Amino acid sequence: MIYADYNGSAPLSPPVKEYLLKRLEKGPFANPNAIHHLGAKTLMGMENARAVCAKVLGADYDQVIFNSGATEGISTVFHSVLGCDKNTKKTIIISGIEHSAIINTANYYASEKGYNVKVLPVTKDGVVELETLKKWIAEEKSNIAMVSIMAANNETGVIQPYKEINDLCKSNNIPFLCDTTQFIGKTRFNFKESNFDYAVCSGHKLGAMTGTGILLVKDATTLKPLIIGGGQEKGHRGGTQNYLGNETLAVALTAIDSVLNNLNALAEKRLEFEAKMKKAFPNVVIIGEKAPRLASTTYISYPGIHGQAVQIELESQDIFVTTSSACSDNMPVTSKVLRAMGVEDDVGRGVVRISLCLNSPLEYYDQLADALTKAYTKLTKVKSF
């Protein structure tokens, strides 16, 4: 079996499984906010996990806020930056390839709070247009409340010019949220070096437990809690902490940190795989091919062959891929990310996304090439559209 949907969700990483089995046996299980000994021990375990996450992510200990995942982190940032009714700056800038967790949140502030959402265009390779951002900031910088652009796209794996975007925001005093959900865990990342105001991640994309996540915040005093409750997480997120889940974040991030050296080999093998597919099937299109991309993602299309047909063929060979992102998977249409890139429908409907992890055996790409070759050979005989 090859699981190739890590951008959708990663299975629990082996060290996390091992950790949990021992941890479930040994305990402690208590409310980390309780004052008895077991509470203190539980708290110590969770705070130790926070220190480990901070170290691996290049952040300070108090810049790590545990939560339920990227969606919550994103909502918390929007609430913190825009939630004040007296805000006189009324423009939010996002891009046309953001995840719906960003798009729908920005649109909520537009419809409910009178903000104006400007959507940055992207090039045909899926990179946001920096020159347009520069122009918009020059035109109305005193009215821009925040900028929210992702570091790497979930469908294409295309890496965005986040450094330049952050610099532009910094030099114009504009809060910047970088959606690093697909970036953290798939390549090198250091929060302090990035100098972002806010970054987010989800445990289930990293091999930690689902329902866990981290909001990284440069200055925690800028946060307003979405969930008030009993003042947990230093008042930034109410509710008894998911201490066990938070511990798995530390284990998963440490495991990823130890395999970062695999990046180059994986990137090379991925390119070899893509070249092999293009040679065998000259019609094949690799989405975002000319842009910098995550080493573990390939978004490949055979125009005229439906992506879902390819997915089913691969599944019959025990290989699990998706046609786009989990959210738009059920719709046999060109995804909004691809439409933003100006991808034609015959290409857009033909895509499958292959997403592995840093630890995936390189031979997977040979097996994927064989399986995809079989699928395309069969399906070209019965073109879908």
Ligand X SMILES: Cc1ncc(COP(=O)(O)O)c(C=O)c1O
Q: Among residues 70 and 244, whose Cβ is nearest to ligand X?
A: 70
Identify which of residues 42 and 298 has a Cβ nearer to ligand X in the complex.
298
Task: Name the minimum Å distance from CB 36 to ligand X.
Answer: 34
Burial of 111 per CB tally in 10 Å (0-12, 13-18, 19+): exposed
| Cα–Cα dist 132/125, whole Å | 16
Q: Are 60 and 218 within 8 A, CB to CB?
A: no
Q: Please select the residue that binds ligand X; options are 19, 53, 179, 266, rule is CB under 6 A.
A: 179
Give the chain's length: 385
Residue 245 near ligand X by CB under 6 A:
no
- First CA to last CA across the chain, in angstroms? 30
Size of the site for ligand X (CB under 6 A): 12
> Which member of 91, 105, 160, 182 binds ligand X (CB under 6 A)?
182
The residue from 95, 202, 242, 360 that contacts ligand X (CB under 6 A) is 202
Based on DSSP, count helices (H) and strands (E) in the chain, helices before strands: 13, 12
Q: Shortest Cβ distance from residue 31 to ligand X (Å)?
A: 25
Binding mask 265-284 for ligand X (x = CB under 6 A): --------------------
Q: Select the residue interacting with ligand X from 57, 150, 209, 216 (CB under 6 A).
A: 150
If phi > 0 it is left, if psi is from -120 to 50 it is alpha, else beta; for residue 210 that is beta
Binding residues among 40-99 for ligand X as defined by CB under 6 A? 69-71, 99
Query: Rounded to the nearest whole angstrom, what is the least distance from the CB of residue 173 to ligand X in the complex?
Result: 25
Taking CB under 6 A as the rule, does residue 101 contact ligand X? yes
Q: Could you tell me what percentage of the chain is helix, strand and coil, using 3-state DSSP and rounding each to the nearest 5?
A: 45, 15, 40
Strand partners for 201: 214
Query: How does DSSP classify residue 171?
Result: H
Task: For ligand X, give the closer residue by CB, 181 or 334.
Answer: 181
Interacting residues toward ligand X by CB under 6 A: 69-71, 99, 101, 150, 154, 179, 181-182, 202, 204
